[in-house]
Structures are given as C-alpha cells and as structure tokens.
Structure 1
Amino acid sequence: MKFEHRPHRYEDGTIRIGGEIYGIAAEIADPDGWVWTALTLMDGTRSREEIAERLRLAHPELPDATSIVEELTATRYVEDAAAVPPAGLSERELDRYSRNHAFFRAVDAVPRAHGWEAQVRLKAARVVVLGLGGTGCHAAWALAAVGVGTIHCVDPDLVELSNLNRQVLYGEADVGRPKAEAAVDRLRSVNSDITVTGERRSIGSRRELDELITGYDALALCADRPTGHSLRVWANRACAAANIPWAGGGYSGPLVTVGCFAPREGTCYECLSSGEEARRRPGTPVNLGGPGVIATSAGVSGQLVAHALLGLLTGVPVPPVGTIQGLNLIAADHHVWVRHPPRPGCPVCGTRAPARNSPRGTTEKDAGRINRQRS
C-alpha cells in the first residue's frame, strides 16, 4: 500500500482507503475481514502469490483469494515495492524530484509500477512560455522547478521597475534588460538539469504563432498582446493544427482564471467564449480589468497555468480539459467553473459529443455547488 493511502478500518468492518486530503478516498464493505487481511499483508515484503496464500490460510472459507489480491493491486492505492526507478533519471534527478514523486504517486488515478512515470514524461517535454509578465514568470518558474525538460521563453519587452511587484524572475539589476534574456538566466539557475532558451519576440499573427510552437509539446499562453481574445483564438487554432495542448491564464484584479485545452478533447476556447457570450444578458459590459495586480494574484495565476500544463503533459492529475476555472482572492465564495458544449460545425471541436452534465457555463456560487458535487 502507498504510504499516503494506508487503510483504516471502522468498527462496522468498513475499510477506508486514501485520505480525504487527496480527494480520492474509497470505502469498501468488508464484513468478513477478507480485504482487511489482504491489505495488512501488503506491506512491501511479500509477492502477490505469497499474499494470496496467507490470505487463504487466514480465511479458509474464502472462495478466491487470488482475485481479491489482483483487484486490490489494480487500484491507484498500491504500488510495486520491488520496482526500481527508470534508467532515464539520474541519481541527482531522483533526489531533486523526490517530492514530485511523492505528489504524483499520491494523486495518480492509474496504478503504475513505481510512480516515476510522470517525471519521465516531464523530462521529455518541450514547452513554450509565451509572455513573461506576472503570470508567465510564475508559470515558467514552476515548470522549471518541477523538471520540464525544455522550456522556451518568449517576450518582446524590457524589464521595468513597476514589474518587480509581481514578476518573480527579475530583480532590480535586471531593469532595462530584455525579459526573455533575464528569465532564461534565472531559470537556468533554478534548474541546471533542464534546457532553457529564449527570444525577444512579439507574436503578431496566427502564422507566427504556428511557427513558434512547431516542434513543441505544449503552450503556456501568458501574454495579453495583441488583444487577449485574438491571441487566444490564434492559440486555439494553432495548437489544434499542431495537435498539442495549451493552457492560458491571467488575472483581473483579484479574480484569477485559467483555461485548459487539448486537441480532440473537451470544448475548445472559441466555443467556451461563445457560450459565455450567449449566456450574458445582451448589453452587459465585459470588464477585462486594469493595471491592478499584486504578487499573490499574479503568482496564483501562473501556478494555475503551470499546474494545468502538468496534467496536460502527464495525465497526472487528470486535467480539466475544455474548461475555464478560477477564484477570487477577495471573495471566498466566488469560484469560476465554465463549461459549454462544442458549437455545431466548429472547425476545432464541433464534431465532438457534448460533455455530460455540462449544458451551460457556470460561475460564482453556482460553481461552488458543482465543485462540491465533483469532489
């Protein structure tokens, strides 16, 4: 049994596996004690055959001990204690990413041999971070720290003094330097085991974005120029054409949001945007925010983008593809959870079946109700 999911038995014989802290707990009715005996035998010192044999000895009345053991070992709560880490990770990397390993092992919804699979995928991944402002700085830092193997940083701007209240990759000595240059230097100092490159460049067309993401596995869209919506439409179409996932996020004052998208999965950005526009009362102004931002809102925004990309690149945790989600840092009950079905005929996702139980977009308090239902 994984340490994080060690079982507990209640007085009525019910067994609980997996703590509530991970949101993946399960309960098993075990009136005869068969499952509990099997779980206690799974301490990493016995093979499946040995566990089944001891289970048969403890419970002679048990019709099929082997099937119980097999069912338990096929769950997310168990790992192979004899498995060795993959050869693709050095001793240094095993130490550096040991906390990653513990996290991925705990939240993974799929049983695996040793829990290092997600880290191996991250090491092989190539990601473009477009935009190195508040969101992009935090996203790039998180991707570097977690071990994404190749990160390419793109931004046209120079570091300004007013950036330093939130853009974590820069210091006072960087004022006047190209952001891409300063970001590359900082990220290389964070993790010398990965490859970090950068360029001072502005993306002004869909074609330029197509060129930028060629050869990469994912896009972190953290820029807001040209106009945010147009750039996200380009990303929606360019990433679909390149068959790579993308995540984009930002902030409007204390309101922080992130969108998570993947080709041939879920609803695309343009359909979500269209669905939200149709949901609003005609004539309702859309406030895209102003210059108000602090380190916390920029940090949460960038970390959410990075977290979405981790799921898109590894499947651990399973990403909420085809959604926009978020929170309000000054209103604890204001949560954003937006889902819409694809529009018929959409060239990106219109041929997909609508997501179950998501006939419309939802925000604020209604989203809190849905989140509780999904937890």
Structure 2
Amino acid sequence: MTSTGVRVVIPTVLRQHTNNRDELDLSAKTVKDALQALTKSYPNLGRYLYSENGRLRNFINVYLNEEDIRSMNGEETRLKEGDTLMIVPSIAGGSVSQKGGVSFSSGEFARYSRHIIMPEVGLEGQRKLKASSVLIVGAGGLGTPSATYLAAAGVGRLGIVDFDTIERSNLHRQILYSEQDIGKSKAEVARERLLQVNPNVRIELHKVRLDSSNALKILKEYDVILDGTDNFPTRYLVNDACVLLGKPNVYASIFRFEGQASVFYAKQGPCYRCLYSEPPPPGLVPSCAEGGVLGVLPGIMGSIQAAEAIDLILGRGRPLIGRLLLFNALDMKFEELKLRKNPD
C-alpha cells in the first residue's frame, strides 16, 4: 500500500502546539501513519493527543472527511488521495466541552465539517454561530431563504416574526412552503421545515404584528436582526428599534428584477433613515403584489442577508455597513454605493 497525500486540519485550541499552523499536508497510508507523522514533527502535540500507553486520549476525536474514525477502522482506517483528517478535541461520548455551555455532538461535527475546516470559521467560529441568535422579521420571500441558510449554518437560536398565513401566490418565491400548506400559519410551517433542515436549532415564534408596543421587547432578545419586511411602516419600525437597542439590522428589499441590501448599524455607520429619511406617501411606490417580483430574486437577496448575518456573528470580513448593494437580475449586474451617516 503506497502513501497518499492527505490534509490534516488543526483546531484553534491545538495550534499552540503546531506553531499556529491551521493545516498540514502529509503523506500517509493510514490514519495512524498520519498522526504519527504529525506528532513526530510536533512532539508537544503528541503528548496532548496520546496517553502514556500510546492510545488516543478519550477527549480526542478524529474525523476522516465527515466520518468519525471510531465508526470505521479506527486508526487503521486507510487513506486515499485528497482525504481530509480533522482533529476534534472532545470528551468521552462524542461531545466537546465549550465555553459558555456550548457543546457539539459528533453528529454536529459531521454536519458542520465544511465550516470547521475553513480557517475563517473553525471550531471557534462554529461555537459563535451556535451561541448566537438572529431574529427574522417576516417569513416571506426574503425570510424563508435566509432562515434556511442560517439554520443550516448552525445559528443556535432563530426567532421568526410573522402573523400571516400561506397563500398560493407565495409559492413561487417562498421556498419553505408547499401547495399542501396553503391557509396554514407561515411561522408554524417555517418552524417545522427549519427543524427538518437542522434539529439542533432552537426556533422561537412571534405570531404577532410587529408594532411600537412590542418591537423593543421582541428585538432586544436577539443579537442580529434580519429585515425581511414587505412594507414601509414595519421597515422603519425595525430600523428605529435597532437604533435604540444598538442592534445590527441586516436589510434587503426586492421589486420586479431589482434588489437592495445593506447592514444598518448605528454604532458603526448609517441607519435606514440616513438612506431614506422618511417613507414615501402611501400608494406612490407599488408593492410586489402590485408590480410583481421575479421568483428567484428574493432567494438571491435573502442569501446575501444570511451571509451578512454570519459575517457579523463571526466578526469576519467586511460587512455592508456604510454600503448599499444593488442587484439587477435582468442584466445580472451588481453595483455598490457608499452610504454616509446623517449627523442629525
């Protein structure tokens, strides 16, 4: 059996033993060969991984691609070209002790493995996602795709604000619902489908019309607010509540073939009123119900919202604070405009 090239991913907590390297490329025939080559290069890591009798410690799990090697042939599991080994510090029974009571099951490690192997996310980032909360205002065209991706990504707690029921005209763009759901509560059906996507996520429902009497009470319980509203009064209400509470407001809007997205965060940049100081008179700007919307457009813009929420939670990248992203699906064109904070 010849040696093959494999990648070994080092979690953040162990990088102190590998000169802060987050991954290494090795040639090995089996998992055992790979780990021996790794610990030969980094002896301190070997003392952490192995007990005095040469066995892997019971708080260490090793995954080959997405599978726990304990469910395969253990350290004798053979490797093939391009395999990825991931070392996951854990306790006996397959869960990892985390800060703040956040823990992962072995199934969650497999679920989030494509996140964890990314240096920009890693185990620490996945922990942040699980410990975070996002409130989605509106379980419609924008809210359903964003909620789906946030649940799949492992955001620990999702809140959904929606008092509406599902109509047939929703189905071409609101992807959590089906023909059999017509007449049912959007919030209830959304929770059912999201738990099918990821049963590890906690879903909280707020089946009320958001107004000045309840907005602050509902929004204050979440880290990030995602605006999936379809009317100006609620949009301004969400903006104003976020400003008062110091919460980031991940915004998107859609009409026909065009979409907008930004992050309004008064602590760091402009808010929605800095862009539009007041709403247009009723009836002046047509709604999607009046002017239509391309079914795929809210999926694109909702996915952008989900990505921005994840960036904010991870503290990575350059969120759309102070920037307005414009998208035209007809011309397949993105543009970006600078936004400035209104000092008033």
TM range (shorter): 0.5 to 0.7
- 1:264 CA displacement: 1.5
Give the Cα separation in 1 of the matches to 2:285 and 2:159: 33
Give the Cα separation in 2 of the matches to 1:123 and 1:299: 23
Matched, 1:343 2:342: yes
Give the Cα separation in 2 of the matches to 1:149 and 1:293: 31
- 1:307 CA displacement: 1.0
CA contact (8 A) 2:145 2:174 kept: yes
User: Match for residue 57 of structure 2?
Assistant: none
- 1:124 CA displacement: 0.7
Q: Secondary structure at the match of 1:89?
A: coil
Give the Cα separation in 1 of the matches to 2:7 and 2:342: 45
- Whichever residue aligns with residue 90 of structure 1, its letter is S
User: Match for residue 133 of structure 1?
Assistant: 140
Matched, 1:168 2:175: yes
User: Match for residue 77 of structure 2?
Assistant: none
Matched, 1:100 2:119: no
Matched, 1:272 2:279: no
User: Match for residue 210 of structure 1?
Assistant: 216
CA contact (8 A) 2:242 2:249 kept: yes
Give the Cα separation in 1 of the matches to 2:228 and 2:339: 23
Give the Cα separation in 1 of the matches to 2:136 and 2:332: 30
Q: 1:343 to 1:100 in 2, by over 3 A?
A: same
Q: Secondary structure at the match of 2:296?
A: helix
Matched, 1:188 2:191: no
- 1:101 CA displacement: 2.4
Q: Normalising by structure 2, what TM-score?
A: 0.67
- Whichever residue aligns with residue 147 of structure 2, its letter is A
Write the deviation string for residues 191-210 of structure 1: whole angstroms up to 9, x where unpaired. Answer: 101111213211133x4211
5+ long unaligned stretches in structure 1: 5-38, 50-80, 109-113, 278-284, 347-375
Give the Cα separation in 2 of the matches to 1:48 and 1:288: 64
User: Match for residue 255 of structure 1?
Assistant: 258
- 1:175 CA displacement: 0.5
CA contact (8 A) 1:209 1:238 kept: yes
Write the deviation string for residues 12-46 of structure 1: whole angstroms up to 9, x where unpaired. Answer: xxxxxxxxxxxxxxxxxxxxxxxxxxx9x965743
User: Match for residue 61 of structure 1?
Assistant: none
- Whichever residue aligns with residue 311 of structure 2, its letter is G
CA contact (8 A) 1:323 1:338 kept: yes
- 1:293 CA displacement: 2.0
Aligned counterpart in structure 2 of residue 152 of structure 1, from 159, 179, 191: 159
Aligned counterpart in structure 2 of residue 219 of structure 1, from 225, 230, 237: 225
Write the deviation string for residues 223-275 of structure 1: whole angstroms up to 9, x where unpaired. Answer: 123xx2x4333222211222221201121111122121234112222213359
CA contact (8 A) 1:155 1:199 kept: yes
The aligned runs of 1:311-326 (5 Å cut-off) are 311-326=311-326
Aligned counterpart in structure 2 of residue 240 of structure 1, from 220, 240, 243: 243
Q: 1:83 to 1:189 in 2, by over 3 A?
A: closer
Q: Normalising by structure 1, what TM-score?
A: 0.62
The structure where strand makes up a greater share of residues is 2
Give the count of matched residue pairs: 258
Write the deviation string for residues 327-366 of structure 1: whole angstroms up to 9, x where unpaired. Answer: 1111134x2312222222x3xxxxxxxxxxxxxxxxxxxx
- Whichever residue aligns with residue 223 of structure 2, its letter is D
CA contact (8 A) 1:269 1:322 kept: no
- 1:133 CA displacement: 0.9
5+ long unaligned stretches in structure 2: 1-5, 9-20, 27-37, 45-85, 91-95, 98-102
Give the Cα separation in 1 of the matches to 2:206 and 2:24: 52
Q: 1:156 to 1:239 in 2, by over 3 A?
A: same
- 1:172 CA displacement: 1.1
Runs of 4+ in structure 1 over 6 Å off: 285-288
- 1:181 CA displacement: 1.0
Write the deviation string for residues 57-85 of structure 1: whole angstroms up to 9, x where unpaired. Answer: xxxxxxxxxxxxxxxxxxxxxxxx97747
RMSD: 3.1
Give the Cα separation in 2 of the matches to 1:135 and 1:259: 14
The aligned runs of 1:23-62 (5 Å cut-off) are 43=25, 45=38, 46-47=41-42
Q: 1:301 to 1:82 in 2, by over 3 A?
A: closer
User: Match for residue 280 of structure 1?
Assistant: none
Q: 1:291 to 1:216 in 2, by over 3 A?
A: same
Write the deviation string for residues 288-335 of structure 1: whole angstroms up to 9, x where unpaired. Answer: 6644223311211211111111111112333222322131111134x2
- 1:145 CA displacement: 0.9
Give the Cα separation in 1 of the matches to 2:168 and 2:125: 38
Give the Cα separation in 1 of the matches to 2:161 and 2:285: 28
